[in-house]
Structure 1
Amino acid sequence: MSSLAERHQYIIKKLQKEQYINVVDLCSELKVSSVTIRKDLKLLEDKNLLFKIHGGATLTNPYTVDRSVNEKEQLQSNEKLSIGQAAAALVNENDSIIIASGTSVLAFAKSIPLNLPLTVITSALNVALELSHHPYTEVMQLGGMLRKSSSSVMGPYSESILKDFFCSKLFLGVDGIDLEFGLTTTNMMEAHLNRQMISVSQKTIVLTDSTKFGKRGFGKICNIDEIDHIITDSGISEHVVKQLQSLGVTVTIV
């Protein structure tokens, strides 16, 4: 199978089935060089049939844009509710946890039992407000520069406060998860804060709907193997689940 048309047909069919394709795998399967495969991917991208990414290609646009929290809250709302409920089941009595910003973690905050004794550190104003109604939850709101699009704070002041604490779990929302590039958000300062959160947490649990996979934001948070657990919905492909598990990440699908 070496003709241009046959290769392109094979690539598109494989991509439609798996959502992501790898240059190395295609070289082996089609018995051509990586140079040839990269040229094929470039031609298909020029025809708007796929998006080239590092090491392969995907069907979905990998680049995320910043949206307001009000807009994002309307997207995949049922999936986020289920993800939040699954995450709430992981919280134990008298836990000390960090809740980052985002609509998935807000859904998680809304799912935490009202009478559960808990200490929460958060950068998100909407999360703090939600938990202010919980009589046995102590809430520490981080300070810093307000990021209006996410209703959260960020910056060096937020990061410096975190250095005085260590928590059992971090519940983290992201704008993109790429198997090679890692976890990202659309804001570099928030990415820095998220990295600090990871460094002071025993376990990092990522809450994300399946549309975030294969996406990349501007600011890199961390590599995939630096997280412990991902909770997502059934829209995630089997291929991505296997790749995550091979990197030592627990995957919960709701």
Structure 2
Amino acid sequence: MLPQRRYELIMQILRAEGPVAVATLGARLGVSQATVRRDLTWLSEQGLLTRVRGGAAASTSLEPSFAAVATEAHEAKDAIGRRAAEMVEDGDVLLLDIGTTVHRLAAHLRGRQVTVMTANMAVYEELVPDPDIELILLGGVVRRNYHSLVGFLTSDAVRQLRADKLFMGTSGVRSDGTLMDTTMDEVPVRRAMIASADQAVLLADAAKFPGNGFATVCGPDALDVVVTDADEGTPALDALRENGVKVVLV
């Protein structure tokens, strides 16, 4: 089992069951206790969990960190990111939103002749070693827990730019195709990105249907394409298609 998959399973178990012993995790995952301890050390360093006597417990932070969310549905997000990367053409100017699925897209852009504009610091860290990519980091207030830049400085910077394609994430998609967010500071940035792109592409794993969120980002009419692993027949997919959105299933 790959480490990333073990991280995902460990976090799922801890969130569902509370503190769990190393021996129990080893038995559940089918790996040695030494492997579990190494995994717990890495997850602890990312701020995802707290070590307790003989085991670990999930972090009690009110907002999940970027690293925590990255462990959820990792394989699905990577497949979505890989498929989205196939939509990119050399020479494209791209806006990359915050979010862990968009980060997986960035990993599949390495070596491409493109320009990437982003407020996603995880995307920046992923692409900054690649000399083939023209990388533009937008300004703003640092939202440390989610590795992103937000605020009016970010929105104003986006309004001065023009992109061929925007790849964006979401906290949830309602049954009528409305995109939602759980963080108020992200909403104006996402709206500015939609307005500044010729094509808006939503990357959303199945858990985002319906997902969560209390702040409306946009209606389905603001989107051009959705790339997802959601099941065919999901009501939101029908609503998106009815509004002229192309749905790409992976």
Normalising by the residue count of structure 1, what TM-score does the alignment of the two structures yield? 0.71
Give, as a single letter, the amino acid of the residue that structure 1 aligns with 2:164: S
Q: 1:179, 1:224 within 8 Å by CA — same for their partners in 2?
A: no
In the alignment, the residues of structure 1 paired with residue 187 and residue 144 of structure 2 have an alpha-carbon distance, to the nearest angstrom, of: 15
Partner of 2:228: 232
In the alignment, the residues of structure 2 paired with residue 238 and residue 162 of structure 1 have an alpha-carbon distance, to the nearest angstrom, of: 33
* 1:100-179 mapped onto 2 (5 Å cutoff): 100-112=97-109, 114-179=110-175
Once the two structures are TM-superposed, the CA of residue 182 in structure 1 deviates from its matched residue by 1.1
Once the two structures are TM-superposed, the CA of residue 102 in structure 1 deviates from its matched residue by 0.5
Q: 1:211, 1:235 within 8 Å by CA — same for their partners in 2?
A: no
Pair 1:88-2:90 in alignment: no
Q: 1:88, 1:111 within 8 Å by CA — same for their partners in 2?
A: yes
Q: How large is the RMSD of aligned CA atoms in angstroms?
A: 1.5
Partner of 1:38: none
Once the two structures are TM-superposed, the CA of residue 244 in structure 1 deviates from its matched residue by 1.7
Partner of 1:192: 188
Q: 1:188, 1:220 within 8 Å by CA — same for their partners in 2?
A: no
Partner of 2:39: none
Aligned residue pairs: how many? 189
In the alignment, the residues of structure 2 paired with residue 127 and residue 198 of structure 1 have an alpha-carbon distance, to the nearest angstrom, of: 18
Give, as a single letter, the amino acid of the residue that structure 1 aligns with 2:237: V
Once the two structures are TM-superposed, the CA of residue 67 in structure 1 deviates from its matched residue by 1.9
* 1:9-88 mapped onto 2 (5 Å cutoff): 66-88=63-85
Q: Which has the larger radius of gyration?
A: 1
Q: Provide structure 2 residue ranges, at least 5 long, that are not aligned to the other structure.
A: 1-61
Which digits, 9 at most, give the CA deviation of each residue in 1:165-188, with x for residues without a partner? 111000001111113371111111
Once the two structures are TM-superposed, the CA of residue 236 in structure 1 deviates from its matched residue by 5.2
Once the two structures are TM-superposed, the CA of residue 221 in structure 1 deviates from its matched residue by 1.0
Question: Share of identical aligned residues, percent?
Answer: 29
In the alignment, the residues of structure 2 paired with residue 240 and residue 138 of structure 1 have an alpha-carbon distance, to the nearest angstrom, of: 35
Secondary structure, aligned partner of 2:142? strand
In the alignment, the residues of structure 2 paired with residue 178 and residue 147 of structure 1 have an alpha-carbon distance, to the nearest angstrom, of: 26
Once the two structures are TM-superposed, the CA of residue 238 in structure 1 deviates from its matched residue by 4.4
Poorly superposed stretches of 4+, deviation over 4 Å: none
Cα gap change, 1:149/1:184 in structure 2, threshold over 3 Å: closer, same or farther? farther
Q: Which has the higher contact order (CA 8 A, sep 6+)?
A: 1
Pair 1:215-2:211 in alignment: yes
Q: Provide structure 1 residue ranges, at least 5 long, that are not aligned to the other structure.
A: 1-64
Normalising by the residue count of structure 2, what TM-score does the alignment of the two structures yield? 0.72
Once the two structures are TM-superposed, the CA of residue 153 in structure 1 deviates from its matched residue by 0.4
